[in-house]
């Protein structure tokens, strides 16, 4: 029996979201190939990690080098690659951030950052932005509001949500198209009413990615930092997606000119290999150490991922990928705005660098989300060879997150836009032929879906 006649997922636990209907065999550059030989343009950079392109030769060489040196060590031994990576990061990260600790995943890095903030401040309350995604583990999962929290019992005590600065869909129903930070003021007023006074941290993504690619307005993070400091809390920036070039800069923090107390990086540091870091100041590190900070995992300071991280940083610098991200990001944004002129259903195009969001609506005035078109179009794009991630949440709209590797070419973008344009046009027609089009519920859209694949809805 072939994999086509058996279910290849037979012995796999389902971990959320839809899976691609075929086994994927290979990934290279901006493309992946499935078992049938279909070549798919990867506009999600894997899980937002492969910024230098899949299987970049420098990453492959770094893995080979690790095979000749060391793959893994006792957690109390520090390999040369870890020392060098910490130095390389210290050279590009805004001061006074200087010290790093290397772990594997974004969840872990946020777990560690929140623990450090708690230890440093002596408090335990953590405020996070609505729509945020910081991971799936205890502390990180507790401050993630774009994920499904139902069914797991109580989260971490002392977790608070601040309405996110979404100018297209104002969460406090106050602004339209220009956020005046009322959401932040209302959020902190509510937080202060509930606080026990044991405050620890405010955590934020510089661009709220899984929450719909929301770019906070100018001045937002200065104001957030002021509010954070006023309350004696530490500010944590989660740059899992935004660091190392996705927005066209080494860090969003450098671009925003706001330096947090703790900065976490993950996905884009390993370029596809599990690697993450917490970066902080000498002062915070010293105090946490004094208070016996412990995060002694099996793979803390492992040599292989650090060697890869160095290769990723060298590749970004050597191939001028920061500049390229800005240039290609502008080209992508212009192409998307052109599509918006032709498709009424594209209500909003937003984002920075090579992280762009496209929000689909049934009507530009009411901004009612067009979930059905989002699901069908995503699926059609995939059939035609373009993989994109869509976020569909009833109260937050249908938003595609487009994030190709920074090595993407104009030709790749043109090809993606042609597929996107064709898919949108075809699926609009499919829906127009059905009664009640455009306002159909998501389950109805699923019933009409072509391959039983729900348009790549994923949890993040
Ligand atoms: C901003 C952000 N932080 C943290 C995480 C969690 O990272 P990981 O999945 O590596 O644990 C994610 C994952 O999508 C993320 O987008």
Between strands 262-265 and 276-281, the pairing is antiparallel
Tokens of 338: 């052109």
326 is catalytic: no
Consecutive sets of 10 residues in the chain, 460 residues long: mean pLDDT of each?
Answer: 70 89 96 97 98 98 98 98 98 98 98 98 98 96 92 94 96 95 98 98 97 97 98 98 98 97 98 98 98 98 98 98 98 98 97 97 95 94 95 82 98 98 96 69 38 52
**Other CB atoms closer than 10 Å to residue 15's CB: what's the count?**
8
**Other CB atoms closer than 10 Å to residue 130's CB: what's the count?**
20
133 is catalytic: yes
Residues facing residue 75 across a β-bridge: none
The b/e string for 161-186 (b: 16+ C-beta within 10 A; e otherwise) is bbbbbbbbbbbeeebeeebebbbbbe
- Please tell me the residue having the least CA distance from ligand 1 atom 8: 106
18 is catalytic: no
Between strands 389-393 and 397-402, the pairing is antiparallel
| Residue 411, burial from CB neighbour count under 10 angstroms (0-12, 13-18, 19+) | exposed
> Residue 51: which of 273, 351, 307 has the closest Cα?
273
**pLDDT at position 81, please?**
98
- The dihedrals phi and psi of 192, each to the nearest 5 degrees, come to -60, -35
Locate the DSSP E strands across 72-114. 97-103
How far apart are the C-alpha atoms of 375 and 436, rounded to whole Å?
A: 16
Q: Which atom of ligand 1 sits closest to the CA of residue 47?
A: 14
- The dihedrals phi and psi of 278, each to the nearest 5 degrees, come to -110, 135
Query: 24-55+320-447 has which fold?
Result: 3.90.1150
- Please tell me the residue having the least CA distance from ligand 1 atom 4: 134
429 is catalytic: no
How far apart are the C-alpha atoms of 55 and 331, rounded to whole Å?
A: 25
The correct answer on CATH 3.40.50.300 for the domain covering 69-318 is: no
The residue from 401, 428, 454, 456 that is catalytic is: 401
- Please tell me the residue having the least CA distance from ligand 1 atom 14: 460
**Other CB atoms closer than 10 Å to residue 231's CB: what's the count?**
20
DSSP class of 217:
P
Distance between Cα 133 and ligand 1 center (Å): 6
Q: Which atom of ligand 1 sits closest to the CA of residue 242?
A: 1
Q: Which atom of ligand 1 sits closest to the CA of residue 108?
A: 11
Helix, strand, coil percentages for the chain (3-state, nearest 5): 40, 20, 45
Q: Please provide the distance, in angstroms rounded to a whole number, between the alpha carbons at the two ends of the chain.
A: 34
Residue ranges per structural domain of the chain:
24-55+320-447, 69-318
Distance between Cα 314 and ligand 1 center (Å): 23
**pLDDT at position 147, please?**
84
**pLDDT at position 5, please?**
56
Size (the chain), residues? 460
The residue from 205, 379, 412, 442 that is catalytic is: 205
Tell me which residues have their CB closer than 6 angstroms to ligand 1. 105-107, 110, 133-135, 205, 209-210, 238, 240-241, 266-267, 460
7 is catalytic: no
Mutate which of 134, 212, 244 for ligand 1 pocket (most atoms within 8 A of beta carbon)? 134
> Residue 126: which of 255, 266, 238, 222 has the closest Cα?
238
The H-or-E segment that residue 141 falls in is: helix 138-142
The residue from 239, 241, 246, 302 that is catalytic is: 241
How far apart are the C-alpha atoms of 374 and 356, rounded to whole Å?
A: 16
169 is catalytic: no
- The dihedrals phi and psi of 249, each to the nearest 5 degrees, come to -140, 160
Residues facing residue 42 across a β-bridge: 387
């Amino acid at each position: 029996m072939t994999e086509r006649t058996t279910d290849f997922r037979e012995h796999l636990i389902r971990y959320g979201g839809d899976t691609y209907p075929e086994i994927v065999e290979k990934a290279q550059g901006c493309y992946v190939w499935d078992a049938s030989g279909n070549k798919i343009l990867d506009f999600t950079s894997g899980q937002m990690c492969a910024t230098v392109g899949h299987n970049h030769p420098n990453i492959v060489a770094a893995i080979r080098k690790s095979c000749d040196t060391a793959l893994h060590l006792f957690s109390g031994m520090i390999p040369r690659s870890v020392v060098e990576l910490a130095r390389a990061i210290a050279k590009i990260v805004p001061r006074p951030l200087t010290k790093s600790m290397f772990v594997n995943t974004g969840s872990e890095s946020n777990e560690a950052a929140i623990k450090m903030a708690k230890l440093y401040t002596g408090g335990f309350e953590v405020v996070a932005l609505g729509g945020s995604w910081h991971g799936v583990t205890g502390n990180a999962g507790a401050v993630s509001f774009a994920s499904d929290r139902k069914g797991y019992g109580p989260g971490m005590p002392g977790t608070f949500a601040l309405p996110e600065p979404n100018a297209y869909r104002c969460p406090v129903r106050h602004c339209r198209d220009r956020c005046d930070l009322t959401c932040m003021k209302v959020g902190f007023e509510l937080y202060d009413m509930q606080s026990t006074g044991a405050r620890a941290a405010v955590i934020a993504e510089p661009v709220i990615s899984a929450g719909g690619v929301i770019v906070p307005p100018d001045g937002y993070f200065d104001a957030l930092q002021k509010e954070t400091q006023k309350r004696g809390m530490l500010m944590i920036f989660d740059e899992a997606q935004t660091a190392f070039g996705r927005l066209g800069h080494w860090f969003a923090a450098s671009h925003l000119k706001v330096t947090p107390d703790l900065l976490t990086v993950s996905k884009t540091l390993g370029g596809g290999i599990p690697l993450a870091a917490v970066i902080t100041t000498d002062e915070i590190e010293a105090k946490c150490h004094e208070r016996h900070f412990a995060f002694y995992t099996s793979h803390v300071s492992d040599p292989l991922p650090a060697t890869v991280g160095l290769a990723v940083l060298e590749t970004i610098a050597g191939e001028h990928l920061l500049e390229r991200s800005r240039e290609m990001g502008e080209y992508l944004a212009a192409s998307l705005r052109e599509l918006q002129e032709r498709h009424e259903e594209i209500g909003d195009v937003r984002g920075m660098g090579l992280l762009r969001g496209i929000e689909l609506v049934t009507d530009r005035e009411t901004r009612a989300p067009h979930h059905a078109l989002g699901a069908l179009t995503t699926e059609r794009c995939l059939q035609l060879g373009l993989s994109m991630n869509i976020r569909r949440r009833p109260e937050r709209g249908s938003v595609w997150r487009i994030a190709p590797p920074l090595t993407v070419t104009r030709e790749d973008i043109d090809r993606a836009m042609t597929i996107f344009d064709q898919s949108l046009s075809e699926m609009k027609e499919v829906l127009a032929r059905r009664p009640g089009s455009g306002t159909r519920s998501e389950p109805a859209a699923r019933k009409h879906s072509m391959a039983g694949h729900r348009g790549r809805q994923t949890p993040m």
